[in-house]
Amino acid sequence: MSAGWNTIESDAGVFTYLINNLGVKDVQFEELVSLDATFLRQRGPVYGVIFLFKYPTGEARHETPLDGTFDYEAAENRFFAAQTIQNACGTQALLSVLLNKEDSIDIGPKLQEFKDFTGAFPADLRGEALSNSELIRNVHNSFARASPFADEAQRLATEEEDVYHFIAYTAINGRLYELDGLQAAPISHGSCEAEEFADKVIPVLQRRIERYPAQEIRFNLMAMVRDLRIRAREIGDQDWLYQEEQKRNAWQWENALRRHNFIGFTGEILKGVVGSKLGEGGKKYSEWVGDAEAKTKKRFDERRKVGGEADENAL
């Protein structure tokens, strides 16, 4: 088992440029803020959706799925990889869609080579091959947030921590599949042609979310779609095209910030401010520190007061 996979965010800009850097052409991700089949269809063609949810660590493993049925034949003749390493499930979910859509998506020579190489492997060996792919691991890690304090690749989650997991849904050869590397095989949710995907996947997602308590809201859903700039150009909508280009620029800026470690920069700013106050002489520095401490205490007291009032109202 390979090590060295860092945590990445569930973010449309991260996922779009991640697959772009793997060689995929004309595909992007769009965050879905509601389970609305009409909204999803409007982003079409939709190749699949990526669903992030809190993983029920205390739940016993089931021999059969809670929804749908295992399709063991699909595990052999479709791209399905067992998850063999932590932190890789986001990228694995993306690949579970991409490597089953090479008839409609240009996945590029590197991913095509990887799929051809692993085509005859069972699911567990495909998972090992994925986790040991230097290309995929390096691209994945290039989108992790820089952290000078912790090595995410080596840190294991404790029982007290919330654990989150990515899975994929996509239509393959007339059936709707749930692709989860922690399951024994792809889970079939019945017949589904590509043009029916939006209408068929939404009820499946709704049933999945309904398993959780009503107050649980920590979900994230993203659609893998054709580059929306292509559609904007096709219909001649310059305003839409401009908005999409601006969105790409923002994604690139945010991805650049993720790679940068700001600890040194912050330290230099702090040293400059402190030096400036000390240079003013007299009691300026101590007054500045005292004022900051007083403001901080005031904010804590206000928060404590609000929290106390909320508790009293709850009672």
Instruction: Determine whether 192 is an active site residue.
Output: no
The model's confidence at residue 161, banded by pLDDT at 50, 70 and 90, is low
Q: What is the mean pLDDT of the chain?
A: 85
Q: Which residue has the higher pLDDT, 190 or 274?
A: 190
Given a cut of 90, whether residue 233 has pLDDT beyond it is: yes
Of the listed 140, 165, 189, 192, which one is catalytic? Answer: 165
What secondary structure does DSSP assign to 79-93, as a single string?
Answer: ------STT-HHHHH
Q: Where are the alpha helices (DSSP H) in the chain?
A: 12-21, 37-42, 72-77, 89-98, 108-118, 123-131, 134-141, 197-209, 228-235, 238-259, 263-279, 284-314
> Lowest-pLDDT range, 122-136, 155-169, 191-205?
155-169
Instruction: Determine whether 189 is an active site residue.
Output: no
Q: Is 178 left (phi over 0), alpha (psi -120 to 50) or beta?
A: beta
CA dihedral 274, 277, 278, 280 (to 10 degrees): 160
Of the listed 89, 140, 189, 192, which one is catalytic? Answer: 89
Q: What is the mean pLDDT of residues 169-192?
A: 94
Q: What would the pLDDT profile of 137-153 be if each residue is shown by its tens digit?
A: 999 998 887 665 555 54
Q: Which residue has the higher pLDDT, 234 or 218?
A: 234
Q: What would the pLDDT profile of 85-135 be if each residue is shown by its tens digit?
A: 888 888 999 999 999 998 899 999 999 999 999 989 999 999 999 999 999
Computed from CA positions of residues 205, 206, 210, 213, in that sequence, does the dihedral angle turn out positive or negative?
A: positive
